[in-house]
Structure 1
Amino acid sequence: MTPLLQVALGGALGASGRYLTGLWAARLLGKDFPWGTLIVNVAGSFAMGVIVVVLLHLTDNRYAPLLMTGVLGGFTTFSAFSLDAVTLYERGAVAVAAGYVLASVVLSIGALFAGLLFARSIVT
């Protein structure tokens, strides 16, 4: 199976899992807090850690596109962000890791606000 097909298949599985997790969390825990998003982000980050170690231990990265980019990318992009931050930290680039985390959060939230303002200026 080609890497692109792996990513596409994994993405469909991950996105479906995210959707179902969101429904489950809203029904079980309520809609007053984004429980579904929190659950998929934490679970996806945990899964990313497990998968990285297992694939490195097996020295077989042929399933990385399916599992890491596809399934976890569809389930949550936060897992990739978490892996990048921890990789920088483990390489000893603590300040760079902190800057990456801060920049990612601040710029992403800022970009969302910018997108809202832009779209609202066009629609209204």
Structure 2
Amino acid sequence: MIPTVVSVAVFGIFGGLLRFATGTWVTANYPRHYYLATLAVNLVGCLIIGYLYGAFLARPDAPLYLKAGLVVGFVGGLTTFSSFSLDTLRLLESGQAPLAFGYAAASVLGGLLATWAGLYLTKL
């Protein structure tokens, strides 16, 4: 159990740092489009989790610490639904309802598509 907990924590650090770096870069370069950072990490995270799901289905003997570290730690640290919700609310509050709804649709539909694509990549 201890190796799994350590793995989730360590991989979570890297996922969180990558998310922070993405947000910092997008905000510095495109401040009006701050929400694109959350969209990007969520879509990439969906692609990664789909790929990992397929890879681990093909390798059921992969150690639990690796599965949990990558899926729960790294992808969990990289993506977040709460930031997506806040970004959508901020867009609505600023009077950008069409953009808010487009962003929400792109996040949900894009996330599902990216997860499917990640799983599909394991079958190539």
Deviations 1:16-40 (Å, cap 9, x if unpaired)?
0100111222234333341111100
Rounded to whole Å, the distance in 1 between the matches of 2:80 and 2:56 is 19
Please point out which of 72, 77, 87 is paired with 1:74. 77
1:118 alignment partner in structure 2: none
Rounded to whole Å, the distance in 2 between the matches of 1:74 and 1:60 is 24
Contact 2:23 2:34 in 1 (8 A): no
1:46 alignment partner in structure 2: 47
Gap runs ≥5 in structure 2:
82-107, 114-124
Q: Does 1:5 align with 2:6?
A: yes
2:58 alignment partner in structure 1: 57
- Aligned-partner SS, 1:40: helix
Higher relative contact order (CA 8 A, sep 6+): 2
Distance 1:26 1:60, change over 3 A: farther
CA RMSD of superposed structures (Å): 2.6
Distance 1:72 1:16, change over 3 A: same
Mapping for residues 1-124 of structure 1, pairs under 5 Å: 2=2, 3-61=4-62, 62=64, 63-78=66-81
The amino acid of 1:43's aligned partner reads V
Pick the structure with greater CA Rg: 1
Contact 2:12 2:75 in 1 (8 A): yes
Question: Normalising by structure 1, what TM-score?
Answer: 0.57
Distance 1:33 1:26, change over 3 A: closer
The amino acid of 1:30's aligned partner reads P
Question: Normalising by structure 2, what TM-score?
Answer: 0.57
Distance 1:53 1:33, change over 3 A: same
Gap runs ≥5 in structure 1:
87-124
Deviations 1:41-73 (Å, cap 9, x if unpaired)?
110011000000001111134211110000001
Rounded to whole Å, the distance in 1 between the matches of 2:77 and 2:29 is 23
